[in-house]
Every structure is written in structure tokens, then in C-alpha cells.
């Protein structure tokens, strides 16, 4: 079986094409935090990787929240008196405020106007709006469409229909569990509740689905738990209903916004000193710039995606977040312009590769003890000083061997060796493995 680092090294453009196919298949589906669009999307992920689907009944109390009624929508439109659809859900599911109450009425433009949402700064784009926890209804449309309706007259009458239902049902989520050699777990989550938008959030869905597929047949210390959950309420529900599992989670990442051409961005855990923080920072320090943009690290704040639930004081799991451009920092965010052209396969590949290297780093990180700690052991007689086998990287290999031996006191982990030496973690891990094979290192802990 392959090790995770071998999988990371083999990630290529083919993975980019495969990730885009899932995005294209899932893009037209009208997702929400509950309902059949969410189930349909989970089924698309489930066609790729073994996914357990869980259904949490409406009304279930989850900490301070309650799982809401299930929302399903069949059709929606605003039509003029000739029956011509001016705003049509079939053209874009963003046209309806997500979780809208059903409506079937005739109203004038002036009566309808308070329910219409546009983006005057981007008059051709449709905004994305939700109304999960306050009962209301509305339509989102291009500002130029609104202006045309206004020009047609304030007393003009329209047929307004939202054929939706909101009744007791379930909140669905998907879970992939890949056992490891130990009980220690790495938790990876992505939200799966946004309708037709690609960076937020199909990029996270497809990167996580692809990673789960690649990791399936790897030999790992850690078990990997992947959650495809509706944002906020899905994370809260999972945490509330799985408290017995939380003690096994050693490291975690929320994945969101991984397909745009912005720089890879890591958001630290609340404390900022967890192993996941150090592992991601070690990987990003040796990740080449993408599109001339070097990776960035930002501090925790109690906002953003589901990292705010995992890092809440009563949960306090070491969960960071991997993204590219930050939510809300690009004009296409939460609009119809976050479409299939907005995300780029090479960006998805760059994100996937970094993520796989983070998992490899977490998995290979360990504490080691030098078995010949009095002066340097003689590397030459053990074949470890052989320049011929090391090629152009000989200097790095030699340095890595010396750093691992010197800091191999049983207390430093390999991430500390990487940090102090400035060498890539992979070089340090490889050196540790060669030294262990030569009997010069003993593993003392993870
Ligand atoms: Zn969002």
C-alpha cells in the first residue's frame, strides 16, 4: 500500500479534470441546508467514494439550536400578465431566496419590490441570499432586470410563485471514514449547502471527495474522517450527536473556497499552536507561489466557516481552515459570477496537493531518539554518507540526517526538526526513515 506522501507526489492535471467533472455535475443542483438537492449532491459524492448518509430529524435539539424543517423547491417565477417569466428559477436557482416560504399571489411592482434583491454595483449578477432562521420569501435578480421592471411601471401586476415546501423532514449529511493503524483521527470537513456556486462551495466538496478517493488505499497511522455537512447547523448537529467521538480527533481542517486563483491561505486554530498549525505552516513554507501569489497564514477569528464551531470554547478541537481567497474578499463571492469559469482546475490541483502534503506531514510526524547520541555516529560505515545515491540533493540529505540525529532526543518531533533546520518536512521524514532503517533511531511517540 502507498504512503500518503507518495499519493501527494503523484497528484496531477488528471485530478484537476476529475475534480471539475464533479463540480460540473453538481453545479445545476439547488442545494440548501436540508432537502433533496443536498441529498442529490451527496449521491454524486457517493458515486465516487464510499459515503455513509446520515439523516437528522427536524426538531432535534443540537446544543442551543434546533434542526429546522426540511425545505424543498420545485419551481418559482415572476411572470407578467402575458405569462412570460421575467425571473425564472429554472434559469438559475439563485433567483429564489434560499429557504423562502411558498408564495402564490398577484402583486404590483411596488408590492413586490421589498422582496427583490439585487447588486447595483454588478448589475448583471444575481446575488445569493438565504432566509434559514427567519420566515420570509424573496427573489434575487440582476439589477438591470429590476430596472427594466421598474421602467415598465409601478402599478404593473405580476404573478409571483414560489412552489416550495417547508415541513418536518431531515437534515442530511455525508461521512467518509477511512480507518488508520491507530485510533487517532484527522477530521476534514466541507460545507455542502450552497446552490449553484462553484468556489463557495463546490470547490471544497470536490477537493475533499478527491482526497478521500486518493487516501482510500493508503497505509496510515491516522484514521481520516471526512464530513460533507450543511454549513453551521450541519457542523453543530454533527458535534452535538458525536460527542463520544471527539476525543479521538487529533487534528482537523475545514476546507472552503479552494478553486479560485488567489493564494493558498491557512487560518490558524484558536490557540494557533496546535500540531495542525505547525504542519500546515511547514507545508506552505515550501509550497511554490501560485500565479505569483505566495501562500499566506492568517490568525483565528470567530467568523468565517465552520472553524468557529470546532474552535468554540466547549468543543476546542484543533481545527484550522484551508482556503484560497478569503470568503467575502472577492466580488464574485455569493453571486452568480462564482460560476464554472471562476474556478480553475490548476488551482484545485494546487489546493489538493497542499492538502495531501499536510495529511502526509501529520501522518509522518513522530518523536525519535538517537541510539548513538554520544558524538556523531559514523554515517559512512552504514552507507548513509554515500553521495552517489543522493544525486543533486546530497547536501540537503546530509543536513537532514545531521539535524534529525542532533535533535533526536525523544522530545522533539520531526516538525520541530523541520522548523529549526528550515528544510522541507519531507526531507526530514525521509532522513528519519533512513536512520531508523540503519538502527540509529528509535521511535518514542507520535
Ligand atoms: Zn458561503
Backbone angles phi, psi at 269, to 5 degrees: -70, 170
444 Cα–ligand 1 center, Å: 43
Amino acid 176: pLDDT: 98
Return the half-sphere exposure (C-beta side, CA atoms, 13 A cut-off) of residue 301.
6
For 181, residues 6+ apart whose C-beta sits below 8 A from its C-beta are 219, 220, 221
Show the beta-strand stretches assigned E in 326-373.
367-370
Rounded to the nearest whole angstrom, what is the distance from the C-alpha of residue 78 to the centroid of ligand 1? 25
Residue 256 CA to ligand 1 centre (angstroms) = 9
CA of 307 relative to ligand 1 center, distance in Å: 13
What is the rounded CA–CA span in Å between residue 106 and residue 81?
Answer: 9
Whole-number pLDDT of residue 392 = 61
- Asked, as a colleague might, if the bond just before 201 is cis with ω within 30 of 0, I would say yes
Q: How far is the CA of 90 from the centre of ligand 1 (A)?
A: 21
* CA 127 – ligand 1 centroid, Å: 12
What share of residues in the chain are helix, strand, coil (percent, to 5)? 35, 25, 40
Residue 21 Cα to ligand 1 middle (Å): 21
CATH topology of domain 71-167: Glucose Oxidase; domain 1 (3.50.30)
Rounded distance from Cα 195 to ligand 1 centre (Å): 10
Q: Ligand 1 mean position to 88 CA, how many Å? A: 22
Q: What is the per-residue pLDDT for 418?
A: 97
**Residue 201 Cα to ligand 1 middle (Å):** 7
Express each pLDDT in 116-167 by its tens digit.
999 999 999 999 999 999 999 999 999 999 999 999 999 999 999 999 999 9
CA torsion sign for 270, 271, 275, 279 is positive
What is the CA(190)–ligand 1 centre distance, in A? 11
- Assign a CATH topology to domain 367-445: Arc Repressor Mutant, subunit A (1.10.10)
Q: Domain 2-67+170-364: state its class.
A: alpha beta
H/E element, 279: helix 275-285
**139-143: long-range contacts (C-beta < 8 A, 24 or more apart)?**
139/76, 139/78, 139/87, 139/95, 139/96, 139/97, 139/115, 140/94, 140/95, 140/96, 140/97, 140/116, 141/87, 141/95, 141/116, 141/117, 142/118, 143/118, 143/119
**What does the block give as the cell for 301?**
477569528
Q: If you measure from the C-alpha of residue 199 to the centroid of ligand 1, how many angstroms do you get, rounded to a whole number?
A: 9
**How does residue 390 score in pLDDT terms, banded at 50, 70 and 90?**
low
Q: Which helix (H) or strand (E) holds 255?
A: strand 249-255
**Structure confidence at residue 255 (pLDDT):** 98
Centre of ligand 1 to C-alpha 191, Å, is 9
- Tell me the CA–centroid distance for residue 99 and ligand 1, in Å: 15
Q: List the 296-298 sheet strands across, edge first.
A: 52-57, 170-178, 223-229, 185-191, 249-255, 319-323, 265-267, 296-298
CA of 305 to the centre of ligand 1 (A): 8
Give the distance (Å) from ligand 1 centre to CA of residue 129. Answer: 10
What letters, b where the CB count within 10 A reaches 16 and e where it falls short, cover 418-431?
bbebebbbbbbbbb
User: How many whole angstroms from 132 Cα to the centroid of ligand 1?
Assistant: 13
Query: What mean pLDDT do residues 342-354 have?
Result: 98
122 phi and psi angles, rounded to 5 deg: -130, 75
Q: What is the pLDDT of residues 175-201, one digit of tens each?
A: 999 999 999 999 999 999 999 999 999
For residue 194, how far is its CA from the centre of ligand 1 (angstroms)? 7
pLDDT in tens, 41-64: 999 999 999 999 999 999 999 999
Report the distance separating Cα 199 and Cα 120, nearest Å. Answer: 22
- Grid cell in block for residue 10: 503523484
Q: Are strands 409-413 and 367-370 parallel, antiparallel or unpaired?
A: antiparallel
237 Cα: distance to centroid of ligand 1 (angstroms): 18
Q: What's 281-310 look like in SS3? A: HHHHHCCCCECCECCEEECCCCCCCCHHHH
Question: What separation in Å is there between the alpha carbon of 306 and the centre of ligand 1?
Answer: 11
Distance 364 CA to ligand 1 centre (A): 33
Per-residue confidence (pLDDT) for residue 446, from 0 to 100: 78
Cα distances from 312 to residues 302, 308, 319, in angstroms, run 8, 6, 10
Residue 341 has pLDDT above 90, yes or no: yes
Ligand 1: distance of its center to the CA of 17 in Å?
Answer: 24
| Residue 318: pLDDT over 60 | yes
Residue 171 has phi, psi (to 5 degrees) of -105, 125
Name the β-bridge partners of 186: 224, 251
List, for residues 195-212, the tens digit of each pLDDT value.
999 999 999 999 999 999
Q: Are 212 and 49 in contact (CB under 8 A)?
A: yes
Same fold, 71-167 and 367-445: no
E-strand ranges in 280-439 read: 296-298, 319-323, 367-370, 409-413
Q: Tell me the CA distances in angstroms from 251 to 6, 189, 247, 276, 311, one per residue in order.
A: 21, 12, 11, 6, 12
Per-residue pLDDT band at 388 (split at 50, 70, 90) = low
- Percentage above 90 pLDDT, the chain: 94
Kindly give the distance from the C-alpha atom of residue 65 to the centroid of ligand 1, in angstroms, as a whole number.
20
Q: Return the SS3 of 163.
A: strand
CA of residue 366 to ligand 1 center, whole Å: 37
pLDDT-derived band at 309 (thresholds 50, 70, 90) equals: very high
Listed range (193-202, 289-298, 344-353, 374-383) with the worst mean pLDDT: 374-383
Q: State the distance from the centre of ligand 1 to the C-alpha of 255, rounded, in angstroms.
A: 12
**For residue 299, how far is its CA from the centre of ligand 1 (angstroms)?**
20
How does pLDDT run across 5-53, given as a tens digit for each residue? 999 999 999 999 999 999 999 999 999 999 999 999 999 999 999 999 9
Q: Please determine, for residue 387, whether its predicted confidence score (pLDDT) is greater than 70.
A: no
3-state SS, residue 66: strand
State the pLDDT at residue 195. 98
pLDDT band at residue 384 using 50, 70 and 90 as cut-offs: confident
What distance in Å separates the CA atoms of residue 78 and residue 91, rounded to the nearest whole number? Answer: 12
Q: What's the CA gap between 18 and 60, in Å, rounded?
A: 37
Chain centroid offset of residue 100 CA: 27
Give distance in angstroms: CA of 411 to centre of ligand 1. 42
Distance from the CA of 3 to the center of ligand 1, in angstroms? 34
SS3 21: helix
Rounded Cα distance, 216 and 224, in Å = 9
388 Cβ contact partners less than 8 Å away, ≥ 6 residues apart: none
The Å distance, Cα 321 to ligand 1 centre, comes to: 14
Instruction: Tell me what pLDDT residue 240 has.
Output: 98
Q: How many whole angstroms from 73 Cα to the centroid of ligand 1?
A: 20
- Return the domain boundaries, the chain: 2-67+170-364, 71-167, 367-445
**314 CA to centre of ligand 1 in angstroms:** 25
pLDDT tens, residue by residue, 242-299:
999 999 999 999 999 999 999 999 999 999 999 999 999 999 999 999 999 999 999 9
Amino acid at each position: 500500500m502507498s504512503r500518503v506522501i507518495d499519493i501527494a507526489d503523484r497528484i496531477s492535471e488528471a485530478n484537476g479534470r476529475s475534480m471539475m467533472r464533479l463540480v460540473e455535475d453538481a453545479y445545476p443542483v439547488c442545494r440548501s441546508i436540508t432537502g433533496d438537492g443536498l441529498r442529490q449532491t451527496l449521491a454524486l459524492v457517493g458515486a465516487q467514494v464510499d459515503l455513509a448518509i446520515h439523516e437528522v430529524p427536524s426538531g432535534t435539539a443540537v446544543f442551543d439550536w434546533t434542526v429546522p424543517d426540511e425545505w424543498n423547491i420545485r419551481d418559482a417565477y415572476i411572470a407578467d400578465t402575458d405569462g412570460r417569466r421575467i425571473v425564472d428559477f429554472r434559469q438559475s436557482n439563485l433567483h429564489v431566496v434560499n429557504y423562502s416560504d411558498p408564495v402564490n399571489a398577484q402583486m404590483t411592482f411596488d408590492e413586490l419590490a421589498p422582496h427583490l434583491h439585487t447588486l447595483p454595483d454588478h448589475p448583471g449578477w444575481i446575488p445569493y441570499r438565504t432566509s434559514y432562521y427567519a420566515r420570509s420569501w424573496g427573489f434575487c435578480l440582476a439589477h438591470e432586470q429590476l430596472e427594466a421592471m421598474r421602467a415598465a411601471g409601478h402599478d404593473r401586476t405580476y404573478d409571483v410563485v414560489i412552489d416550495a415546501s417547508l415541513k418536518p423532514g431531515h437534515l442530511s449529511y455525508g461521512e467518509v471514514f477511512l480507518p488508520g493503524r491507530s485510533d487517532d483521527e484527522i477530521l476534514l470537513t466541507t460545507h455542502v449547502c450552497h446552490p449553484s456556486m462553484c468556489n463557495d462551495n463546490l470547490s471544497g466538496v470536490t477537493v475533499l471527495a478527491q482526497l478521500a478517493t486518493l487516501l482510500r488505499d493508503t497505509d496510515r497511522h491516522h484514521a481520516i474522517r471526512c464530513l460533507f455537512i450543511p454549513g453551521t447547523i450541519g457542523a453543530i448537529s454533527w458535534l452535538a450527536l458525536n460527542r463520544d467521538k471527539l476525543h479521538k480527533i487529533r487534528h482537523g481542517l475545514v476546507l472552503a473556497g479552494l478553486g479560485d486563483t488567489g493564494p493558498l491561505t491557512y487560518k490558524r486554530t484558536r490557540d494557533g499552536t496546535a500540531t495542525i498549525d505547525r504542519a500546515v505552516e511547514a507545508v506552505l513554507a515550501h509550497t511554490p507561489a501560485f500565479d505569483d501569489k505566495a501562500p499566506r497564514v492568517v490568525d483565528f477569528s470567530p467568523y468565517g466557516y465552520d472553524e468557529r464551531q470546532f474552535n468554540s470554547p466547549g468543543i476546542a478541537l484543533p481545527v484550522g481552515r484551508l482556503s484560497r481567497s478569503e470568503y467575502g474578499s472577492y466580488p464574485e463571492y455569493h453571486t452568480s459570477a462564482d460560476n464554472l469559469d471562476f474556478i480553475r482546475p490548476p488551482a484545485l490541483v494546487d489546493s489538493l496537493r497542499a492538502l495531501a502534503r499536510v495529511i502526509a506531514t501529520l501522518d509522518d510526524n513522530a518523536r525519535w531518539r538517537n541510539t548513538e547520541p554520544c558524538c556523531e555516529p559514523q554515517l559512512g560505515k552504514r552507507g548513509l554518507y554515500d553521495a552517489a545515491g543522493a544525486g543533486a540533493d546530497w547536501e540537503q540529505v546530509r543536513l537532514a540526517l545531521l539535524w534529525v540525529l542532533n535533535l533526536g532526543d525523544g522530545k522533539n518531533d520531526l516538525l520541530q526538526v523541520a522548523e529549526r533546520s528550515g528544510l522541507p518536512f519531507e526531507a526530514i521524514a525521509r532522513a528519519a526513515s533512513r536512520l531508523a532503517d540503519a538502527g540509529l533511531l528509535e521511535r518514542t511517540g507520535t
